[in-house]
Structure 1
Amino acid sequence: MSKGVISTAGGGWLLQLLVVVLAAGLQAAVLCGAELQYGFYNTSCPLAEALVRKTVSDAFAEDGRVAAGLVRLHFHDCFVRGCDASILIDSTIHNVAEKDAVPSQTLHGYDVIDAAKAAVEAVCPGVVSCADILAFAARESAALAGNITYDVPAGRLDGTVSRAVEADLGIPSADSDLAQLIQNFTFWGLSPEDLVTLSGAHSFGVAHCPAFADRLYNFSSSSQADPTLSPAYAALLRGACPEEGSEGAVWLDLVTPEVLDNKYYAGLVLGLGLLHSDQELMAEANLRAAVEENARNRGWWAAKFAQAMVRMGSIQVQTAGEGEVRANCRLVNSSIFPRRPAASS
């Protein structure tokens, strides 16, 4: 069961935290069932998770921004065809893959996944899927950038299809309204509360100017900038993105831009949500209340984030008989699917 253990300072929220952790474990058990298992590689490749951890840790030491990139890769993967590592497949002359879709063109961290896969293949060839490596890498990123730790069930197989058009249609855009966001999350079995919780991943990393430029210039006939955006923040952003079409990038969170924490929610309350889709979380009373609670209580949000990551990582996974273990995460195997090793008992 998912432990959802959070390393944060103690406080009055401890009892609430324990309730959330227990609920996370029960929910994870329902979601994973016979499909995914904790400790899946304990027998077939016992060093798998440690090797991924070391690879991500080494990359993070060189560039802390890689953590946000890996979490975002996992999200983009799961929201198209489920968590099957289809985001990692390269385009060919016959097919434009997900990674070249418009919503995916600023993603990064592929080289870290390649390195982790190589390290695992050197020890356990043909055993550990790229989809599991990506889920492990996102978990390690949350631990390194936010001191949030949780167990990841494994047993995913890799998909063999990756189409840019599906990512263009399936990934929520930066200008999505609240109804569109809820519909997108509901389609994948995630709740509006999951939407608020997982949006906390926007507390680290950057967004590029084209993703929010329409909030800064000629927003409407009566307003130059989006009125839900703090005027002072809008002026700051116009300095970073001086005109529409600028290719610059801005931190998603002004306060702790490289830390996975709850400062993002405090920003939303103050009108500092960078993307329209971020600020939309304040458009409905119940979700606004959830944002405000997350802003007040880091431990409460962190516990929910841990369990929501496990739920997201369980979306429409491919298991025995449905996919393959890619030898190279960027390429679909050309031979018959390798046999999946039996799960650890």
Structure 2
Amino acid sequence: MASSISFACTVLTLLLIICVQSEAKLSSNFYDSTCPNALTTIRTAIRTAISRERRMAASLVRLHFHDCFIQGCDASILLNDSSTITSEKHATGNMNSVRGFQVIDNAKSQVEKICPGVVSCADILAVAARDASVYVGGPSWKVKLGRRDSTTANLSLANTQLPDFQASLDSLISLFSTKGLSARDMVALSGAHTIGQAQCVTFRTRIYCNTSDINLGFAATRKRKCPASGGDATLAPLDPVTPNSFDNNYFKNLIKKKGLLASDQVLFSGGSTDSIVLEYSKKRKKFESDFAAAMIKVGNINPLTGSEGQIRKLCYTVN
């Protein structure tokens, strides 16, 4: 009798675990009943921010990407220093570069007014990236929701697992592979550089020390505002043709050897991704479709769900 009861309890426990896991999956209608106006509220905040500064669209896409690559999509990148946390904002790939924190804070504040303690900062980051893309003419995609926020950050991972602006093709492919992303995903995601700007310090070596894999006229133009020394924070558009519109000119630029960053041009430098760049340069819709699919994959990198983590009241600090 005792063994039968024990067996029944084991079965019940397993069923409960299965139910919890099922409920913990991300869903596009996660907030339909708990905060039905969440997405509209976030969208309004994001559109307002980008209308004030067009560059913010690229920054918000990048912010979500940099969050998901470290510990998964858990809003750890938003956490400030505290007695227990060393912020990921200090990482080499983030410091004085990643931006848009105040936009996310504002969106969170607006959502908290209508649904306190319901919508996570991690979900706001994911929705903001999609809304930013749409605002500047890029593709839309269905964002699955239900992520929760971490109570930790990981500076050491941020220093080693974010793509470097001088990375080789093989290292980029390998890094993206560790996140479950293919070489095609990597090229499509790199296409986000069709909008936004980069600091002089990130492309100085390319325009001054490279004569074989760069258009010399393009290099000369960039040198006018990026001196050989100093002016590290001076900005240049990643796509000089249509820097504020989401299109496929980024790939056309690579074919002309006008990639601003070394990690851009390496996608079209006689390697295995050349054919993908050529394809995207000719087929904008294919690029946009693949970009949207890759962003969905990014948003699914190791999210916290169910009872994991927390729903932060303020995105920059734990509760």
TM-score (norm 1): 0.83
Q: Distance in 1 between matches of 2:246 and 2:172?
A: 22
Partner of 2:236, secondary structure, is strand
CA distance 1:176–1:147, change in 2 (3 Å): closer
| Corresponding letter in the other structure for 1:61 | S
Contact conserved, 1:178 with 1:283, CA < 8 A, in 2?
Answer: no
Matches of residues 220-259 of structure 1 in structure 2 within 5 Å? Answer: 225-247=210-232, 248-259=234-245
Aligned counterpart in structure 1 of residue 36 of structure 2, from 46, 69, 72: 46
| Corresponding letter in the other structure for 1:244 | S
Cα deviation, residue 184, structure 1: 0.7
Cα deviation, residue 47, structure 1: 0.5
Deviations 1:53-112 (A, max 9, x none): 000011111111111110000010011111100011012355431112121121111111
Q: Distance in 1 between matches of 2:111 and 2:74?
A: 18
- Residue 62 (structure 1) aligns with: 52
Contact conserved, 2:85 with 2:152, CA < 8 A, in 1?
Answer: no
- Residue 342 (structure 1) aligns with: none
- Residue 148 (structure 1) aligns with: 139
- Residue 23 (structure 1) aligns with: none
Could you list the runs of 5+ residues in structure 1 that have no partner in the other structure?
A: 1-31, 220-224, 334-345
- Residue 36 (structure 1) aligns with: 26
Deviations 1:123-176 (A, max 9, x none): 111110000000000000010012421110001011111132221111011000
Q: Distance in 2 between matches of 1:53 and 1:209?
A: 32
Q: Which moved more, 1:278-287 or 1:119-128?
A: 278-287
| Corresponding letter in the other structure for 1:269 | I
Cα deviation, residue 251, structure 1: 0.5
| Corresponding letter in the other structure for 2:39 | E
- Residue 317 (structure 2) aligns with: 331
Deviations 1:177-224 (A, max 9, x none): 01110111000000000000000001111000111111133x3xxxxx
Could you list the runs of 5+ residues in structure 2 that have no partner in the other structure?
A: 1-21
Q: Which segments of structure 1 move beyond 3 Å, counting only runs of 4 or more?
A: 283-286
Cα deviation, residue 280, structure 1: 0.8
Contact conserved, 1:91 with 1:100, CA < 8 A, in 2?
Answer: no
Does residue 1:299 correspond to 2:297, yes or no? no
Contact conserved, 2:76 with 2:153, CA < 8 A, in 1?
Answer: yes
Contact conserved, 2:255 with 2:278, CA < 8 A, in 1?
Answer: yes
Q: Distance in 1 between matches of 2:129 and 2:229?
A: 33
Q: Distance in 1 between matches of 2:191 and 2:151?
A: 31
Cα deviation, residue 323, structure 1: 1.0
Cα deviation, residue 229, structure 1: 1.0
- Residue 88 (structure 1) aligns with: 78
Deviations 1:307-332 (A, max 9, x none): 11111111011101221100100001
CA distance 1:316–1:97, change in 2 (3 Å): same
Matches of residues 123-202 of structure 1 in structure 2 within 5 Å? Answer: 123-202=114-193
Q: Percent of pairs identical after alignment? A: 41
Aligned counterpart in structure 2 of residue 314 of structure 1, from 293, 300, 316: 300
Q: Distance in 1 between matches of 2:240 and 2:138?
A: 19
- Residue 18 (structure 2) aligns with: none
Q: How many residues align?
A: 296
Contact conserved, 1:127 with 1:325, CA < 8 A, in 2?
Answer: yes
- Residue 266 (structure 2) aligns with: 280
Q: Distance in 1 between matches of 2:138 and 2:269?
A: 30
Contact conserved, 2:71 with 2:154, CA < 8 A, in 1?
Answer: no
CA distance 1:295–1:62, change in 2 (3 Å): same
Does residue 1:262 correspond to 2:253, yes or no? no
TM-score (norm 2): 0.90
Q: Which moved more, 1:39-48 or 1:163-172?
A: 163-172
- Residue 202 (structure 2) aligns with: 211
Contact conserved, 1:200 with 1:264, CA < 8 A, in 2?
Answer: yes
Q: Distance in 1 between matches of 2:220 and 2:76?
A: 39
Q: Which moved more, 1:158-167 or 1:42-51?
A: 158-167
